[in-house]
Structure 1
Amino acid sequence: MSESVEIGIGERLRFYRQGRRKTQAVVAGLAGVSEDYVSQIERGAKTPTVGLLHKFARILGVPVSALLGEPQFERNGTIHPVASELHRRMMSFGGPSGEAVDLVELRQRVDAAWAIWQTSQRRYTEGAEVFPELLTDVQVAARSFRAFGEVEQRREAARLSSDTYFLLRTFAKRIGRTDLSLLAADRAIAAAYETDDPLRVAGAHWNLGHILIAQSEAEAAEETAMHAIEELKPNVDSGGDWLAMSGALWLVASVASVRQGDAWAARDRLREHALPAAEATGEGNVMWTVFGPTNVHLHAMSVEMEAGESAEGLSIADRIDVTSSPSLERQTTFYLELARLHDQRRDDAAVLLHLMSAEASGPEDLRYNLLARDLVRGLLKRARPSMTLQVRALAKRIGLVAS
């Protein structure tokens, strides 16, 4: 069995650090961590948190994607053809329209696509089979119904467009195409404003906030979220979806805070705004945000992880019943976050246990998540003999090593 040629995050960090003529001590000081911690990351002994990865990218003047690198599954063509096809169709705006558009049937297809994304263990494979054609048909619908008297049909077509672009934003982000994800987020906002629906407009800004965070634009993401929260204020007292959407935006603002190095502001936003909203509305899925108490607690756990407070993060995790989340992706993320928390504490057995739980709930997510792959790579380098067979079997299943 041979090791994958895929280059780890630590090796990329060392390459760019040395290329910028910065010592480990300088990078560590600017990032607010110890020199030994940077050394361990570069040796593959530790996996950086997402927030720390963004700090390294800013310090070295490179995009986060440069530190993450291009995984083997993109180089061998598993993902790129789908992304390229989606990009081509977005640029052609769906091609020429001809047949009559059935908005009811199209709504069923959009909702079914979202169900695949949030509940299927094969969501990448199944999604790739339906997203391109759905995108074309939704874009054709968006150009239809321009005659006098078709106002409501035009608004429904815009709702379908915004909902589809919401979906493509998260799909494109997960497969490493942040450029396509940003384009989808921008299209979602334009479509949402055509619906005359403040809730969808807020949802579109929630989407934009996520991709801005992914592109190391945490300050811009915070501004986007706070602006949308202000726009929702006249309706928030009505409760229900309005309050839930506001709460989801507070989660974006919280993540933006911790990515800017202010963990206390992140905690305050969760405690004072997001959690009360979640407790009032309960578990829900407004605009596919999966907002509710479970998601708030997941964010609280993530904030502690990014702040380096692994003990507090694990304490929060003990109080989370992830099975109450309507999204399988959220469940998988929970196990991956647990693995990262235990990685901070050098508890390899727990890291492996939770990576295997993540694989059970979302096998394709584990294959395509670059930080998860780096956790497995780290285990390969340091696993005790009693764990070696299990670690290598996992690495083989996610394509990290070849037989």
Structure 2
Amino acid sequence: MSESDEISIGERLRFYRQGRKKTQAVVAGLAGVSEDYVSQIERGLKTPTIGMLHKFARILGVQVSVLLGEPEFEQNGTIHPVASELNRRMMSFGRPGDGEDVDLAGLRRRVDAAWGIWQTSESRFTEGAEVFPTLLSDVQVAARSFRAVGEAEERREAARLASDMYFLLRTFAKRIGRTDLSLLAADRGIAAAYETDDPLRIAGAHWNLAHILIAQNEAEAAEETAVHAIEELKPHLESGGDWVSMSGALWLVASVASVRQGDAWAARDRLRQHALPAAESVGEGNVLWTVFGPTNVLLHAMSVEMEAGESAEGLTIADRIDVTSSPSLERQTTFYLELARLHEQRRDDAAVLLHLMSAEGTGPEDLRYNVLARDLVRGLLRRARPSMAPQVRALARRVGVVAA
């Protein structure tokens, strides 16, 4: 059994650091971490947080996707092969339609079912790949139909379907490492949302866009996007319900944007002053598949502490979270992965393994397609004590980090 040919994040960091003629000490100083920490990342003994990757990317003048190696992964099969097919279909926009053969009610059931797969299936990548391409084409046909006088409501429903489909593709493409496709889907989602004349969907489209802007190291732009959308929602907040939930979801994005810009205190303030009161007001929900509620606020609070390097506080918050109350398996899987990262910060490899296996239980395919999760497994493989080694090797084999 040997490690796969996949290049690790640490190896990429070392390659670009040396290419920019920067020492580990210089990079560490600019990033605000120790030289030993950078050394451990480069040797595959530690996995950086997303926030730290953003810092390294800015210091070295490269995109985060370059350090993650996303373009290359599709070629060797680590990125889901359906990505290219989705890209092709998005570029074709679907054939022109006159609306006669478009079943809007049927499409609504299919789009909702596709979201159900994504949020609740342990095989969501495999099942989604079987459904998403054809559904995307059919939704795009519907969006180009119903242009005649008297078809305004049908046109708006087709736009709602397109908006919801692009929301789904944004998160799917991001999870399989195609941030370029994710950004395209988010942009299409914005355009479709405005055609619905629905302020809630428009806000949801900006929520989606802000997420992928953060992933592309554009935290400041993401913050501006989220804050602008929050302002646009203010006239509707007295109605409560979904309006408050969407505003709260946007505050979560704004908090992530803050911590990615190095301002953990602003992130904490946004969670405490805005997101948490909204969540307590509306309870657990899933408006436009944002999974907003008290559980998600706590998950973000834990993430903020992880990004800030406050592992003890992050673990204290984690003890308050019953992740099984979340309607999304993706959020549950993310919780376990972030717990693993918190324990890695504390050099507790037994806990890292435990939570990686929990993540595998709720999202086995996530570990195969999540670059940082794979790096966690790879680091554990290199550090594992003999008593843990068999379990670690078995996990590494299942997620494709090692080749038989």
TM-score by length of 1: 0.98
Q: What are the within-5 Å matches in structure 2 for residues 56-67 of structure 1?
A: 56-67=56-67
CA contact (8 A) 1:6 1:71 kept: no
Rounded to whole Å, the distance in 1 between the matches of 2:3 and 2:72 is 12
1:194 aligns with 2:195: yes
Rounded to whole Å, the distance in 2 between the matches of 1:305 and 1:259 is 11
The residue identity in structure 1 corresponding to 2:326 is S
Rounded to whole Å, the distance in 2 between the matches of 1:90 and 1:6 is 29
Give the structure 2 partner of residue 379 of structure 1.
380
CA contact (8 A) 2:163 2:190 kept: yes
Aligned-partner SS, 1:157: helix
Q: What are the within-5 Å matches in structure 2 for residues 85-164 of structure 1?
A: 85-97=85-97, 100-164=101-165
The residue identity in structure 1 corresponding to 2:60 is L
Rounded to whole Å, the distance in 1 between the matches of 2:47 and 2:392 is 16
Q: Which ranges of structure 2 fall in alignment gaps of 5 or more residues?
A: none
The residue identity in structure 2 corresponding to 1:63 is Q
Give the structure 2 partner of residue 43 of structure 1.
43
1:28 aligns with 2:28: yes
Rounded to whole Å, the distance in 1 between the matches of 2:349 and 2:313 is 19
Aligned-partner SS, 2:291: coil
Q: CA deviation at 1:95?
A: 2.1
Alignment RMSD (CA, Å)? 1.2
Question: Deviation digits for residues 40-73 of structure 1, max 9, x if unmatched?
Answer: 1111111111100111001101111111114986
Rounded to whole Å, the distance in 1 between the matches of 2:76 and 2:262 is 37
Q: CA deviation at 1:85?
A: 1.1
Name whichever of 237-246 and 91-100 sits farther off.
Answer: 91-100
The residue identity in structure 1 corresponding to 2:161 is L
The residue identity in structure 2 corresponding to 1:394 is L
CA contact (8 A) 1:6 1:72 kept: no
CA separation of 1:13 and 1:313: change in aligned 2, threshold 3 A: same
1:19 aligns with 2:2: no
Aligned-partner SS, 1:114: helix
Rounded to whole Å, the distance in 2 between the matches of 1:80 and 1:321 is 31
% identity of equivalent residues: 86
Aligned-partner SS, 1:385: coil
Q: CA deviation at 1:396?
A: 0.1
Rounded to whole Å, the distance in 1 between the matches of 2:390 and 2:336 is 21
CA separation of 1:360 and 1:182: change in aligned 2, threshold 3 A: same
Rounded to whole Å, the distance in 1 between the matches of 2:284 and 2:204 is 17
The residue identity in structure 1 corresponding to 2:128 is G
Name whichever of 90-99 and 276-285 sits farther off.
Answer: 90-99
What is the total number of aligned residue pairs between the two structures? 403
Q: CA deviation at 1:81?
A: 3.7
Q: Which ranges of structure 1 fall in alignment gaps of 5 or more residues?
A: none
Rounded to whole Å, the distance in 1 between the matches of 2:83 and 2:72 is 15
TM-score by length of 2: 0.98
Question: Deviation digits for residues 7-45 of structure 1, max 9, x if unmatched?
Answer: 111111111101101111111111111111111111111
Q: CA deviation at 1:78?
A: 6.4
Rounded to whole Å, the distance in 1 between the matches of 2:80 and 2:285 is 33
1:362 aligns with 2:363: yes
